[in-house]
Amino acid sequence: MTITTRFAPSPTGTLHVGNIRTALHNWLWAHKYGGRFLLRIDDTDAERSREAFVAAIRTDLAWLGLMADGETRQSARFPLYEARFEALRDAGRVYPAYETAQELDLKRKVLLGRGLPPVYDRAALALTDADRAALEAEGRRPHWRFRLDHDAPIGWHDLIRGDQRFDPRTMSDPVIRRADGSWLYMLPSAIDDVDMGITHVVRGEDHVSNTAAQIQMFEALGTTPPAFAHEALLVGSEGKLSKRLGSLGVEAFREAGYEPAAIAALLARIGTSQPVEPIADIRLLAAGFDFGHFGRAPARFDEAELAQLNARIVHQLDHEAVADRLPAGIDAAGWEAIRPNLATVREAADWWQVVEGPVEAPAFSAEDAAFLDAAADAAAALDWSADPWRALTESLKAMTGRKGKALFLPLRQALTGRDHGPDMAALLPLIGRERAIERLRLTV
CA-CA distances (angstroms) from residue 320 to 109, 155, 265, 277?
Answer: 64, 51, 21, 22
Distance CA 244, CA 413 (A): 40
Distance CA 19, CA 8 (A): 9
Distance CA 337, CA 333 (A): 6
Distance CA 441, CA 248 (A): 49
How do beta strands 70-73 and 36-41 pair?
parallel
Degrees, nearest 5: CA angle 194-289-252: 90
Instruction: Spell out the residues 6+ positions from residue 97 whose beta carbon is closer than 8 angstroms to its own.
Output: 123, 124, 142, 143, 144, 145, 175
Q: Could you write out the three-class secondary structure of 375-389?
A: HHHHHHHCCCCCCHH
Give the relative orientation of helices 388-400 and 366-381 as an angle to the nearest 10 degrees.
130
Four-CA torsion 293, 299, 303, 306, nearest 10 degrees:
10
Instruction: State the DSSP H helix or E strand holding residue 124, giving kind and residue range, or none if neither.
Output: none
Instruction: Spell out the residues 6+ positions from residue 32 whose beta carbon is closer than 8 angstroms to its own.
Output: 3, 286, 287, 289
403 is in an annotated binding site: no
Instruction: State the DSSP H helix or E strand holding residue 39, giving kind and residue range, or none if neither.
Output: strand 36-41
Binding annotation for ATP: 243
Binding annotation: 243
